[in-house]
Chains A and B, each alone.
Chain A
Amino acid sequence: MSAPTRTPSGAPAHLTGAGGGRVGDDAQRPDGVLKVRGEFAYGSDLWMEDMLWGVTLRSPHPYARIRSVDLGAALAVPGVHAVLTSDDVPGEKVYGLELADQPVLAVDVVRYQGEPVALVAADHPETARLAASRIQVDYEVWEPVTDARVALGHPTPDRPDTSPPRDQVHDAPAEVTELSRESAHLHPQGNLVRHLKVRKGDPEPAADVVVVGEYEVGMQDQAFLGPESGLAVPAEDGGVELYVATQWLHVDQRQICSALGLPPERVRLTLAGVGGAFGGREDLSMHVHACLLALHTGRPVKMSYNREESFFGHVHRHPATMRYEHGATRDGDLVYVRAAIYFDGGAYASSTPAVVGNGGTMGVGPYVVPNVHVDCYGAYTNNPPCGAMRGFGSVQTAFAYESQMDALAAELGMDPVELRCRNAMEEGSPTPTGQVIDSPAPVAELLRRLQAMPLPPEAATGDDVDLRDMPGGVSNTTHGEGVRRGVGYAVAYKNVAFSEGYDDHSTARVRLEVVGGEAVATVHTAAAEVGQGLVTVEQQIARTELGVEQVTVHPKDTSVGSAGSTSASRQTYVTGGAVKAACEAVRARVLERARTVVGRPVADLRLDGGEVVSDAEGIAVPLADVLGDEAVEETLEWRHRPTEAVDPETGQGFAHVQYAFSAHRAVVDVDTELGLVKVVEMACTQDVGKAINPQAVVGQIQGGTAQGLGLAVMEEILIRDGRVQNPSFTDYLIPTVLDMPPMRIEVLECADPHAPYGLRGVGEAPNISSGPAVLAAIRAATGLPLTRVPVRPEHLTGT
């Protein structure tokens, strides 16, 4: 079966070039030229001569029973080739990342607005949409459960009554436990997805000063620009080839195989071009659907969501409700933190268990706290499913713990940076889970360096005012009257890679050969390039370890072993580690062979410039003379050091392999009369251990900062009674170039001795500390407590 092609874009290509560059250099991305020429084939660009278009019919209701589905009118539309429901799913009807609880297509009940109910394939996307609209579904509409605390039978401010809501799905009552009194169970095992407890030190500590706060974080969307999309092509062996924009090919493959009832060798995945991911592509979207339609029709089927469907087609960041209590001595030493954290997981589990793991284990921030009592819950509700998004479980808690640090500083009359530095973690500090930090943790240094950076000039006044610098911009809402400036700081940390005993590995295949007289390395991994620049890092590592200039990146597919997920800031570390290890294995074999040719012991030899070099002898032998026309290839699996599950009662254990640290300073101008915020400058310091590609590292910090700023002041999926109110870029706002201020960035490189090249994962930390800094700055400008993000104008004007 031929690969999908079109003019001028081809199927996912071998990437070569561009300009060279080793570890530590600003290397250019090998897919860059294709991207600026408009020739890079994203999932939505794939095309085959005889392909059909697939569309999804989704539930309009957050919670309902399906009485009946009538497909007749849809099937009668000319140009329609298939209409499918859950009856047509040949294998397991439910799937999931961690727990298999989500139907491929709804089975009897829908649990969120937008749940897929039926599929259509037709020869034009409009025909398919028309047919989908003619499917008759008869729903018995139920009242949705829309608050995580209510779902668990825990009290809320508006609902002190803890009697559980009415059970509508399951006949038998759920198990009622001391910790989760849930019984209106949306799923057979109850509404509790996970409860993580951290218990450390004295259970009844006493402190001189206590601050208590309740915080709320709204539901953020990843809002990647490239829609969910892909092309499924039926294969001659009865299997299917899927070209798809995703984050983890092998976890997709496992779930697709299970739903299709096919073995892995008959479900082959290749990564299509990915237009951003940020966690939103970790779960399946159109993957199984397109495969079902392709297998059913015997034709290639393309699916590509439009923006509205995209809002329903992927998981979001968990909204959170948090209560924190901080106790400290008069001098400002933290004595204890108590916290109750609720994550609303929505209708299906997705990665809620791991989000709860992060939220709970790191929920007090990068501080040394002797006594900790944290309860972190993830619950099922009838809201949209929530799962992975950049910063994963840490973004939400950082808003709370950093707000608490500011409140505590105010209570103590201390400088907020001083208070943070006084309690900052450092190398050797214990974490709340009893782990000892065994690599640099420059928390105080990050803050001090921020503080030392110059502040932007004061806002102009009078005739010098440029409206474009004012809150409200050229809408001409103010010339500076009522505008106040504020400065805020925040620091955060995040675990890198998968935690809690997960077997977190990556696989790399590296080949070295001489082609047309030139030494060429080929790197083959299944690690998803989603825009972050992993393909560049793979080339840089191969150039460094094998001393060659030409490195080809093989298309990402399932013909090589799993690389794990492109998430948790882990790919440069884990797949980078795998590529390095595979290169070392190749190098060892090449040098062993060179030993006889050069006549020097292996220890005296190295690879550089496409030659075997012996510095002692001052000689260099071209690789062509050593390898001839033979290729040396090695494939190996690489793991970071193991972590362990935490104790279920105390949360203690070696849970995380590495931490990334970043800090932000935000400067804002707030029009206090209209409640408009203009972020004037963002400054960031981050420790990256080793910047493999400094230009790309800075790009990650800038992009992460923007997403954190977005959550602080504008981004929220508004839900009313389980229904999404704003599924468009007209109403869900992400920062534009007018919203983003200039940034000052300082990158520290304090090597982590446990990691390849000493590097630390980069992508998430800046997304965690930026929002809380903006919130702190707005608070400083207005004097308002501000306990909810995103901050809206009405929070600032009290209207």
Chain B
Amino acid sequence: MRLTCTVNGTEQQVDDVWEGESLLYVLRERMGLPGSKNACEQGECGSCTVYLDGLPVCACLVAAGQAEGRAIGTVEGLTDGDTGQLHPVQQAFLDAGAVQCGFCTPGLLVATDDLVGRSLAEGRKPADAEIREALAGNLCRCTGYEKILDAVRLAADRMSEAGR
């Protein structure tokens, strides 16, 4: 089948997609966007988290056909396309030391961007318990999560500072 959708603001069209392929497979293997990761392909780890029409989803659980005509955002779209400047969430993960092997990182960045964006839109920063709840679907085997929590707090601080 042919699949047409928007990825990180750019229209994409791919041919010969099998019915059984997931959005994750199409992104990684057919569109050359391997940033979204494939740690379980069962919806259990969050490493494949992408935006689908603005909502975070596990790309491994989305059938390719379901993405037809929709807008997808991946980790590759977080960096400013013109300046190459890192998104504050990306920078915060680096500064907090929240990246070890980094396999969980792309999914966590999308989930964090979503959480912080939603909270700041409501005019507040996410509380710790909220952060934990929001990231409960993103497994990390390396860090024990402490520095990921630091990174989310740091990103929220910096983004609310910048938005002021």
Using CB atoms and an 8 Å cutoff, list the residues of chain A in contact with chain B: 6-9, 18, 26, 28-29, 31-33, 35-42, 44-45, 47, 124, 126, 222-227, 273-278, 304, 306-307, 466, 468, 530-533, 695-696, 698-699, 702-707, 728-730, 734-738, 740, 742-743
Contacts and interface: CB of A to CB of B under 8 A. Distances in A.
B79 interface: yes
A32 B94 contact: yes
Interface stretch (B61-69, B117-125, B132-140, B156-164): B132-140
Given A225-B103, A227-B39, A276-B103, A729 B144 contact: no
Contacts of A8: 32-33, 76
A750 to B, nearest CB: 24
Contacts of A273: 102
Interface of B: 18, 20, 28-29, 32-42, 44-45, 47, 74-76, 78-79, 86, 90-91, 93-95, 97, 99-106, 109, 129, 131-133, 135-149
Contacts of A227: 38-39
B142 A39 contact: no
Contacts of B135: 737
A728 B36 CA distance: 20
Given A36-B105, A531-B101, A699-B147, A45 B34 contact: yes
B40 A728 contact: yes
A123 B139 CA distance: 31
A531 B102 contact: yes
Given A695-B97, A696-B97, A728 B44 contact: yes
Given A706-B145, A729-B44, A737-B138, A36 B93 contact: yes
Contacts of A743: 144, 146
A38 B86 CA distance: 12
A533 B100 CA distance: 7
A151 B143 CA distance: 38
Nearest to B152: A737
A38 B144 contact: no
B34 A9 contact: yes
Nearest to A38: B35
Contacts of A42: 34, 37, 103
Nearest to A46: B34
Contacts of B140: 225, 737
B38 A274 contact: no
Given A7-B32, A307-B41, A738-B132, A702 B144 contact: yes
A304 B25 CA distance: 13
Contacts of A29: 94, 99
Given A729-B39, A729-B40, 5 more contacts: A36-B75, A36-B94, A304-B38, A695-B97, A728-B44
B75 A37 contact: yes
A218 B106 CA distance: 32
Contacts of A274: 101
A224 B143 CA distance: 12
B100 A730 contact: no
A278 B35 CA distance: 23
Contacts of B139: 225, 729, 734, 736
A541 B147 CA distance: 24
Contact of B141 (A40, A466, A533, A734): A734
A18 B93 CA distance: 14
B48 to A, nearest CB: 11
Contacts of B74: 38
Nearest to B44: A729
Q: Which 10 A-B pairs rank lowest in CB-CB distance, beginning with the nearest?
A: A38-B35, A531-B101, A275-B103, A35-B102, A702-B144, A706-B144, A729-B44, A38-B75, A45-B34, A225-B39
B44 to A, nearest CB: 4
Nearest to B36: A38
B144 A705 contact: yes
Contact of A702 (B93, B132, B143): B143
Contacts of B101: 224-226, 274-277, 530-531
Contacts of B147: 698-699, 702
B36 to A, nearest CB: 7
Contacts of A740: 144-146
B141 to A, nearest CB: 5
A28 B34 contact: no
A40 B34 CA distance: 9
Given A37-B76, A468-B129, A531-B102, A223 B141 contact: yes
Contacts of A705: 144
Q: Name which of A26, A225, A730 has the most chain B CB atoms within 10 A of its CB.
A: A225
Contacts of A222: 141
B39 A307 contact: yes
A36 B20 contact: no
A466 B130 CA distance: 12
Nearest to A127: B18
B146 A728 contact: no
A705 B101 CA distance: 17
Residue from A32, A466, A698 having most chain B Cβ neighbours under 10 A: A32
A44 B39 CA distance: 10
Given A276-B103, A729-B42, A737 B149 contact: yes
Contact of B143 (A33, A40, A699, A742): A699
Given A531-B142, A696-B97, A737-B149, A35 B105 contact: yes
A736 B95 CA distance: 22
Contacts of B45: 225, 729
B133 A738 contact: yes
A375 to B, nearest CB: 34
B37 A225 contact: yes
26 contacts: A6-B32, A6-B34, A32-B102, A36-B102, A37-B35, A37-B78, A39-B76, A42-B37, A224-B141, A225-B101, A225-B141, A226-B101, A227-B38, A273-B102, A275-B102, A275-B103, A278-B141, A306-B40, A466-B129, A729-B45, A734-B139, A736-B138, A737-B131, A737-B138, A738-B133, A743-B144
